A and B are shown apart, each in its own frame.
Chain A
Amino acid sequence: MSEAISQPDKPMPLPGADAAPGDATDLFSKFDPLIKQRADLLGAGQEDPFNLVMEQVLSPVTAICNGRETILLGTYNYMGMTFDPDVLEAGKQALRDFGAGTTGSRVLNGTYSGHKEVEAALSEFYGMDHAMVFSTGYQANLGIISTIAGKGDYIVLDIDSHASIWDGCAMGNAEVVPFKHNDIEAMEKRLRRIPEGAGKLVVLEGVYSMLGDIAPLKEMVAVARKHGAMVLVDEAHSMGFIGPNGRGVAEDQGVLDDVDFVIGTFSKSVGTVGGFCVSNHPKFEIMRLVCRPYVFTASLPPSVVATAATSIRKLMQAGEKRAHLWDNSKRLHAGLKGLGFELGTDEPQSAIIAVIMPDLERGAAMWEALLKEGLYVNLARPPATPANMTLLRCSLCAEHSQEQVGQILTMFETAGRKTGII
């Protein structure tokens, strides 16, 4: 959840330590400005936005946080699968049958039948030939991007890409060329200027999780194709929800067949942990041998892959839940707009609705006021945010009832008036 962390997704060098020559340098002195900023914020009596403890989780949408019963509006549990009875049962059974963990890499002793089953479920879910499961979505991006784009190749990517995409670029040896967020022309210009004969990979996301806006994938994928680039789309925030079969924004815009690699995660709609890449590339299976973040780490526990497989299969049939989640997203968006809040998108485009705060101080005050009302949202702040905005990011769940969306709006109204934001 890079948004909760006080560093940008795109890596930036930390300021150097200014020790006198000859002094032993404390390697931690580079963190001093951050330590001070945090101490100042907490010294002002603010509840620590990045140290919340969920003492009890009552359901996908409610928990006891810091002693208070709280509606959760800042998780990525979009489809509410975390407490699905079939999912829980599959996990318990696998725990009993296969034990607590695999203690090994996928390419050694860490591939159980459950890992094969979850890959089969993914192939079926996306209608793709190959599926490769990683221990997290972060590692899926890290591994696939750094492995397929090598020295002399070019990666063309959106400047607002997730940290795991940037880190995949940093780990590999390709030339990295960012373009302005969702700007088709800027992307095309860069593709056009790449030297003749160089390999090209375009990296895009379906939903950008800061503002909850979607990419114009139809146009972008066509442009990438025209310039002979391969295309990777991270659909972390759209799986299970966007598109007729929940395959994501590329499916929704009718271009999934032209996407070479889809990256996804089990940590959002699927409701557990893990990451994956699906592809129709005929040589895709070689990735299992050459992709270091796949090889040099232990595989997911049997209970996790069993819950994931069950959840993915249920998501194939989740048309009604998808419709309810869209209703929730539309109601919350319209309601917040009606109350006078400034939102990240003019229309609801995903299950994420970002409320733009005037500055960090008032954003933090509003976040705390909401928590005291009994509502948890995500506070996202500079420099992790686009254009250095402070955002209260709301992510809806298919298990939020109509009534809860109403309660949420009342809480926003009360907290907004208390803090003078509306």
Chain B
Amino acid sequence: MDRDDTKNRIDTLIEPFNKKDVAITEDTTFAGDLEWDSLTVMDFVAAIEDEFDIIISMNQQAEIETYGQLIDAVTRLRG
């Protein structure tokens, strides 16, 4: 699947979750830069899962630290 398409759609999805208006790049980290708590993570993951009709298990989430890694993982999961 097309990485650019995945990125564009996730860029839109993340907006309402980016409450601190952090300038997001591929290197932005969820825990460090965005300081999300576990509830926000769950809601954001659910939004992505629904958008692409995929599952991102906690095991897979544990490997994802940066925004770029998320886009890669979703692109892969879309098959």
Chain A residues within CB distance 8 Å of chain B: 8, 10, 12, 154, 159, 169, 175-180, 186, 189-190, 193-194, 383, 387-388
Contact = CB atoms under 8 A, between A and B. Distances in A.
B38 A193 contact: no
A19 B42 CA distance: 32
Contacts of B8: none
A181 to B, nearest CB: 10
Interface stretch (B19-27, B51-59, B67-75): B51-59
A186 B46 CA distance: 8
B50 interface: yes
B57 A176 contact: yes
Contact residues of B: prevailing secondary structure: helix
B37 interface: yes
A193 B42 contact: no
B30 to A, nearest CB: 12
Given A8-B38, A388-B37, A193 B53 contact: yes
A188 to B, nearest CB: 12
A177 B57 CA distance: 5
Given A176-B58, A177-B58, A189-B49, A12 B38 contact: yes
A387 B38 contact: no
B38 A175 contact: no
Given A189-B50, A193-B49, A388-B37, A175 B42 contact: no
The 5 closest A-B pairs by CB, nearest first: A175-B57, A176-B58, A193-B55, A177-B57, A175-B59
A180 B49 CA distance: 13
B1 interface: no
Contacts of A12: 38
Contact of A180 (B38, B42, B54, B60): B42
Contact of B42 (A154, A159, A194): A159
Given A189-B50, A388-B37, A177 B55 contact: yes
Contacts of A194: 55
A159 B49 CA distance: 16
